[in-house]
Structure 1
Amino acid sequence: MSHPPGRPTALLTGLLGDLRDEGAQLDALVAGVPDAAWATPTPAAGWSVAHQVAHLAWTDEAALLAAHRPDAFAAHVEQALKAPDSFVDEGAAAGAALPPRELLARWRTGRDRLAETLRDAPAGTRLPWYGPAMSAASMASARLMETWAHGQDVADALGVVRTPTDRLRHVARIGVRARDYAYFVRELTPPAQEFRVELTGPDGQLWTYGPWDAAQRVTGPALDFCLLVTQRAHRADLAVLAEGPDADRWLDIAQAFAGPAGNGRPRKGER
Structure 2
Amino acid sequence: MSDVAAVVDDLREESDELDLLVRALGAERWREQTPAEGWTVAHQIAHLAWTDGVALRAATEPERFGEEVAKALAAPESFVDEAAEALVAAHAPDALLARWREGRQRLGQVLRDAPAGARIPWYGPPMSVASMATARLMETWAHGQDIADALGVTRTPTARLRHVARIGVRARNYAYAVRGIEVPEEEFRVELHAPDGELIAYGPEGAAQRVTGPLLDFCLLVTQRAHRADLAVTAEGREADQWLSIAQAFAGPPGPGRPPRAERAVHAEQPVRGDR
Q: In the TM superposition, what is the alpha-carbon distance from 1:164 to its structure 2 partner?
A: 0.2
**For the residues of structure 2 that align with 1:94 and 1:232, how far apart are their CA atoms?**
24
Structure 2 equivalent of residue 91 of structure 1: 83
Matched with 2:268 is: none
Counterpart residue number, 2:32: 40
Where structure 2 has 5 or more consecutive residues not aligned to the other structure, the ranges are 265-276
Q: Tell me, in whole angstroms, the C-alpha distance in 2 between the residues paired with 1:68 and 1:104.
A: 23
Write out per-residue CA displacement over residues 118-170 of structure 1, whole angstroms, 9 at most, x where no aligned residue: 00001111000000101111100000000000000000000000000000000
Matches within 5 A, 1:13-32: 13-32=5-24
Give the one of 171, 181, 188 matched to 1:178. 171
Matched length: 263
Aligned to 1:155: 148
- Offset of 1:35 from its aligned partner? 1.5
| Counterpart position of 1:113 | 106
Q: Hey, what's the Cα distance between the residues in 1 that align with 2:75 and 2:9?
A: 35
In structure 2, distance between residues paired with 1:216 and 1:250: 10
Residue of 206, 214, 224 corresponding to 2:199 = 206
Question: Shift of the alpha carbon at 1:32?
Answer: 1.6
Displacement of 1:221:
0.1
Q: TM-score, normalised by structure 1?
A: 0.96
What residue number does 1:245 align with?
238
Give the distance between the partners of 1:187 and 1:100, measured in 2 at CA.
40
**2:50 matched to 1:58?**
yes
Q: Match of 1:253, as an amino acid?
A: I
- Counterpart of 1:230 in structure 2 is 223
Could you tell me which amino acid in structure 1 is paired with residue 148 of structure 2?
A: A
In 1, Cα distance between equivalents of 2:86 and 2:70: 19
Q: Which amino acid aligns with 1:51?
A: H
SS at match of 2:235: strand
Measure, in 2, the Cα distance between the counterparts of 1:52 and 1:203: 30
Which of the residues 137, 154, 157 maps onto 1:164? Answer: 157
Distance 1:241 1:188 in 2: 21
CA offsets 1:5-62 (integer angstroms, 9 cap, x no match)? xxxx621111011000000000000002111100100000110000000000000000
CA–CA separation in structure 1 for the residues paired with 2:156 and 2:201: 22
Shift of 1:72: 1.7
Q: Which amino acid aligns with 1:108?
A: R
2:262 is paired with a residue of what secondary structure? Answer: coil
CA drift of 1:71 comes to 2.1
Query: How high is the sequence identity, in percent, across the aligned residues?
Result: 67
What is the alpha-carbon distance in structure 2 between the residues aligned to residue 11 and residue 70 of structure 1? Answer: 23
CA distance in 2, matches of 1:47, 1:239: 27
Structure-2 separation of matches of 1:21 and 1:87: 28
CA distance in 2, matches of 1:32, 1:210: 43
Q: Which amino acid aligns with 1:14?
A: A
Q: Counterpart in 2 of 1:191?
A: 184
* SS of residue in 2 equivalent to 1:270: helix
Q: Could you say what the CA RMSD is over the residues aligned between the two structures, in angstroms?
A: 0.7
Q: Distance in 2 between matches of 1:269 and 1:90?
A: 31
**AA in 2 matched with 1:265:** R
Distance 2:158 2:197 in 1: 11
Structure 2 CA distance for aligned equivalents of residues 154 and 85 of structure 1: 22
Correspondence for 1:70 among 59, 62, 78 = 62
2:104 is matched by which residue type in structure 1? R
Q: Secondary structure at the match of 2:166?
A: helix
